[in-house]
Amino acid sequence: MAKKKPNYKLKALRMESGLKQEELARKSGIALTTYVRKENGITEFTVSECERIAQVLQENPVDIFFNHRVAKETTKMG
């Protein structure tokens, strides 16, 4: 299984909010080890985790978790 890219957007937003991984994990109801693995791209976030994290960060989940490059490539084809 190929490793996915870390979620740099999430990490940047988390850091801008002054939150450590442990704090964001706790506030969003995710075990720390699980959160770290997901932020680092080892495993994927579930939809409900994305929604809870976005709520804590007061952001739109699409802006955090959607790869905008894919959207650009798709629209070029259409």
CATH code for the domain in which residue 41 is found: 1.10.260.40
**pLDDT band of 74, cuts 50, 70, 90:** very low
Check residues 70 and 68 and name the one with the higher pLDDT.
Answer: 68
The whole domain housing 13 covers 8-77
In the chain, how many domains are there? 1
pTM: 0.79
Any idea what DSSP says for residue 4? Answer: P
Q: Is residue 31 part of a domain?
A: yes
The sign of the torsion formed by the CA atoms of 34, 39, 42, 48 equals positive
Section 16-27 average pLDDT: 97
**pLDDT band of 4, cuts 50, 70, 90:** confident
Q: Is residue 48 part of a domain?
A: yes
Q: Is residue 55 part of a domain?
A: yes
Q: Is residue 73 part of a domain?
A: yes
